[in-house]
Chains A and B, each alone.
Chain A
Amino acid sequence: MRLSHGFVRGETLSCIYHGWSYAQAGNCLRIPAHPALTPPDTIRVATQPVEDGGGIIWIPVGEPAAGPPRFDGVTPLRSMVVEADIAALEEAAGTKAAEGLLDYAHDGRTVRLLLAPEGKARTLMHVLVDEDSNPSERIAASRAAEALRRTAEHVAASGTAR
């Protein structure tokens, strides 16, 4: 059963199916069907290191030498799934991504997009905006990102970005 369907109480994550709860290190703390049992250390779930960098949650692939990058002056606004690869997003934006960052100029302002591929044909796109932007500017950025997604998915569906 996927633990993402589960629930968090205090510092433990529990499975929705049988309520087995796990500590941060991945070891099982409690098996509700056997309340008196101390779960053996062999019962554990895989864990994944994570780091919060400026409101963005990062996970390492392999063993990176340095921590995650910091983006000064911007703050994360929203995350979106795009049914297109990064090449299609680049074509839609009319510019190339550098180190996973795409600066998309739209209506006289720039929206910064942090891109992470999810398989071959899907991209996770995190929208970053100026820290001191006001709500109207943030809404405009969110709508610009929607527009870019529409174009990129159209590009991907018509197969021109190859």
Chain B
Amino acid sequence: MKLYDYVLSPSCYKVRLMAALTGVTLDIRPVDFHPGAEHRGPELLALNPAGSIPILEDGDLVLTESSAMLVYLAATAAPQWLGNDAAGQAATVQQWLSFSQRLTASLGAARLHEMLLRPGDIDALRAQGTAALRELEAGLVERRIRGQRFLASDRPTVADIACFPYVALAPDGGVSLDPYPAIRLWSRAIRAIDGFIEMPGIHRLHELKPEPSPEGGEA
């Protein structure tokens, strides 16, 4: 599987993260999104006329929506990431996959504005991002009341991977995560999953590694 990838794109990172967690090896094709705007060049537009990345190619199959890529990776390699097919859980997974688009349009656009100087009404984007974070927080609180740590069940699903990156990177766009304790617990739970990989702006949980033993220390 070939991923047209940009290292700073949270949507591309969703796919890299899902692949790492499901044990799929991706053939990474770096795209010069910034400063080169290669995603708007003829080669990439031929694959995806919408001019967005990521693009995932597997034989004749070309996917241009990150949520679809997550489902494809999970269905191919680790179906437990799709959740079960009980009506409520299946719908909840779909609910959060759709919701993740709102995170991209609000927190993602605020981040591009603040970091890579893309146009946008920053106050409106932050307000929309805050509204989305509050919904996510409330959803996670209700899950916890039911004894579940993730968005659709007590195990992570594609829904969590779809929502995690733009949420974790909200501070890049000037939106603080301090008001959201349930989101912070959820973010830690995701970062603690075996096989988790980070992206620039999302730091590793150094606490998962033991303190190095002092080498010849005086103390």
Contacts and interface: CB of A to CB of B under 8 A. Distances in A.
Contacts, number: 51
Contact of B207 (A8, A37, A135): A8
A45 interface: no
A14 B142 contact: no
The DSSP consensus for interface residues of chain B is: loop
Contact of A78 (B182, B210, B215): B182
B206 A7 contact: yes
Nearest to B214: A35
A-side interface size class? 20 to 34
A139 B207 contact: no
B181 A7 contact: no
Contacts of A37: 218
Contacts of B214: 35-36
Given A139-B145, A142-B145, 10 more contacts: A5-B203, A9-B210, A9-B211, A32-B212, A35-B214, A35-B215, A38-B219, A77-B145, A135-B146, A138-B145
Interface of A: 5, 7-10, 12, 14, 16, 19, 21, 30, 32, 35-38, 77-81, 135, 138-139, 142-143, 146
Interface of B: 134, 138, 141-142, 145-146, 178-179, 181-182, 203, 205-207, 210-212, 214-219
